[in-house]
Amino acid sequence: MKSLKLAVVVCLLAAVGFWPGQQASLLAQENPGAVFVMTNSANGNQIESYARHADGSLQWTASFATGGNGSGGTIDPLHSQGSLILSQDHRHLFAVNAGSGTISSFRVDGTSLALVDTTNSGGAFPSALAQSGDLLYVLNAGGNGNVTGFRVTPNGDLHRINKSTSNLSGPSTSPTSLVFSPNGQFLVVTENATNNVDVFRVRPNGSLSEAVSNSTPGAQPFAAVFAPNGALVVAGTANTISSFQVQSDQTIHAITSALPTDGQATCWDVVTPNGRIVYAISAGTSNLAGFTIAHDGSLTPIAATIVGSNPTGSTNLDTAISQDGHFVYTLNAGTGTIGIFSVQSDGSLLNNGQVDGLPASAGLNGLAAF
């Protein structure tokens, strides 16, 4: 019955000639969530919007321009996690425009997006974003690299915070991700080239303290994510995953050190909303590793570690999870598809197939879902 209702809606839209944004808004009424993909095109960056059905399947709805240019390229040109993120309340979507040195904000209405603001990122080659409350920080990976902060208004406008630009540990750090702690007191940046995790304290005015740079036991940290219990989980391109506790003095204490992911080119990770599982994504082997997260932040492999796989050659990059925690999505840059996985009771992932229609090996970066 629900499929029939959706088909009727789609036919009516086609008959009366709704604009894409109107179509996306009406389709959102028939669907419980959405998935967004960033094209990162150098000739006009765009966000592709998909309606998420109750069974996790996706239906493309519309394209939305960011007002800036991406970097272009082939496979993973941004070399980052978090180039496209949703606000915690899912009311806003934020994107980087690496080619034009800007960031963009959208209002979100189901699968429909309304561009609100596009503004200078405060550095060169913006590649990743992090949001906490009305704070938005961007990681500028060009040059020596920096982070710059913005206030987000309720409407989604972006206002740069005075003296909020902070440097990283040194030159040639190859920064790859940034993330706020759950309490908003710390901002963490991973430096892939130096094996450092930089921890900034967030001041009441939104600016940052000096960074404390921490060496990591797992080489080449790439993607940092916090579990709800405050454990910092870091996946690295040396194909390991570690967990840490962030101390009040901005140092990190290793809880679990450098567990193997049993994949190649491990670069991205995502934690389930209940904080019990982290999935690590390996582009070289097109698979996903699963680990449980204990109350103390320690990690334990699920079964034989590899819990899901995309077809060979998918080169799965960014990952996202639905707000109900039932579905994991991967951006398969090698084939121009989105991988769809349903989360099983034991933490393993059931491959529900892929949605195609995206350009293969065309610089795709950025995936967000609710």
**Tokens in use for 258?**
């450098």
**pLDDT beyond 60 at 200:** yes
25 domain residue, yes or no: no
Q: Give the CA dihedral 305, 308, 310, 313, nearest 10 degrees.
A: 0
| The total number of structural domains that make up the chain | 1
Average pLDDT, integer, range 198-211: 98
103 domain residue, yes or no: yes
**Which residues does 33 contact at the CB level (< 8 Å), separation at least 6?**
51, 52, 322, 323, 324, 369, 370
Residue 293: band (very low, low, confident or very high) from pLDDT cuts 50, 70, 90:
very high
For 162, the domain range is: 35-42+63-369
Q: How far is CA 134 from CA 50, 104, 139, 167, in A?
A: 26, 15, 17, 22
- Output the pLDDT for position 16: 34
Residue 31: band (very low, low, confident or very high) from pLDDT cuts 50, 70, 90:
low
135 domain residue, yes or no: yes
143 domain residue, yes or no: yes
- Output the pLDDT for position 284: 98
Nearest to 279 by CA among 137, 81, 83: 81
The rounded distance, in Å, linking the Cα atoms of 58 and 328 is: 12
- Output the pLDDT for position 32: 80
**pLDDT beyond 60 at 275:** yes
**Tokens in use for 290?**
């699963």
**pLDDT beyond 70 at 3:** no
What mean pLDDT is reported for the chain? 93
Q: Which residue has the tokens 């040194």?
A: 170
The rounded distance, in Å, linking the Cα atoms of 46 and 97 is: 10
**pLDDT beyond 60 at 6:** no
Residue 313: band (very low, low, confident or very high) from pLDDT cuts 50, 70, 90:
very high
Residue 202: band (very low, low, confident or very high) from pLDDT cuts 50, 70, 90:
very high
pTM of the model: 0.91
Report which DSSP code applies to 210: -
9 domain residue, yes or no: no
**pLDDT beyond 60 at 8:** no
58 domain residue, yes or no: no
DSSP class per residue in 305-369: EEEEEPPTT--EEEEEE-TTS-EEEEEETTTTEEEEEEEPTTS-EEEEEEE--SPTTS----EEE
**pLDDT beyond 60 at 205:** yes
Q: pLDDT, tens digit, for every residue of 211-229?
A: 999 999 878 999 999 999 9
**pLDDT beyond 90 at 231:** yes
Average pLDDT, integer, range 140-156: 97
Pairing between β-strand 316-321 and β-strand 135-140 as defined by DSSP bridges = unpaired
CATH number for the domain spanning 175: value is 2.130.10.10
**pLDDT beyond 50 at 257:** yes
54 domain residue, yes or no: no
The rounded distance, in Å, linking the Cα atoms of 181 and 69 is: 30
- Output the pLDDT for position 219: 83
Average pLDDT, integer, range 282-293: 98
231 domain residue, yes or no: yes
**pLDDT beyond 80 at 21:** no
